[in-house]
Homo-oligomer: A and B are copies of this chain.
């Protein structure tokens, strides 16, 4: 049996990545592609790499008939998403890839995003989409909120450690290296090849990046008290990948053990042998996350490094993994693509 799905915001990179993944998924059929600004165009005009697929043309979202849709992916920009989703049929199941429903507390949302939430009722219903940790709730959710790509990477490295109190939650530094596709297909000077190639740099310095709000929410909930990490993202001259280097206080051997056990049965999160380092090239284009643990020479300190593909495990792959759960399909369906290296 095939489930019909729609993708809203299909003209962006995460929309295209959803199509790429669904292209070899045996249980899903793309029935509608929404993209208001490019409505009327074919998908292959917007993304020529998808020209071999038989896809519906892009159309305006309010012209889509959702009655035949089993599940809707919403890959729209922040703020737009909440308005569009509020107007969708109430029984339509939704996987949202925007930031709009990640924060449970409306006050936190307003603090980080600068505007009151337009759909606070939906916000309450939404389940945080970090699959490995919200699996049961996701299965039954009507609305799943995909995580930030940086937020996912840092949480894979740290959640089991905070939960097990294997590290000191008051001393966590998260230094993150982020590929440029995370910024989307928008026309901004710092995303130009001539600016970025041979030009890496930090941004949102001072733990003020919006994905910070997710760390605050999730790590504090795990610890049962406020946890505030330090987090600095850096823009990399590369297209895909996030590498999160975490500096923690804790025993490296125990940290490795806790992480290894936590992910022992996970198909997509792999803890490397002690002392090995992950690399973004080893997860590129795949739904895998690799985690490495090494002791610092300073006793009681360790480095935990996680790598994943921001467009796959960090957003569209995660979304598909969640959709599989919601549709009662095998969770890994369509997601076992091996990384594309070199």
Contacts and interface: CB of A to CB of B under 8 A. Distances in A.
A36 interface: no
A258 to B, nearest CB: 18
Contacts of A24: 24, 336-338
11 contacts: A50-B338, A52-B267, A177-B177, A197-B342, A201-B243, A202-B243, A206-B295, A230-B298, A237-B238, A239-B342, A247-B247
Interface in A12-32: 13, 16, 19-20, 23-24
A128 B227 CA distance: 42
A232 B245 contact: yes
A48 to B, nearest CB: 5
A1 interface: no
Secondary structure dominating the interface of A: loop
Contacts of A267: 52
A53 interface: yes
A329 B267 CA distance: 29
Contact of A342 (B53, B194, B288, B303): B194
Contacts of A303: 202, 205-206, 230, 232
Interface residues of A, number: 90
Given A206-B303, A232-B303, A234-B245, 9 more contacts: A49-B282, A49-B339, A51-B282, A52-B336, A180-B194, A187-B188, A205-B303, A208-B297, A232-B247
A270 to B, nearest CB: 6
A188 to B, nearest CB: 7
Contact of A298 (B200, B207, B241): B207
A51 B281 CA distance: 13
Interface of A: 13, 16, 19-20, 23-24, 47-53, 171, 173, 175, 177, 179-181, 185, 187-189, 191-203, 205-208, 212, 228, 230, 232, 234, 236-241, 243, 245, 247, 267, 270, 272, 275-286, 288, 290, 292, 294-298, 301, 303, 305, 307, 311, 336-342
Contact of A296 (B47, B52, B199, B230): B230
A194 B201 contact: no
B49 A284 contact: yes
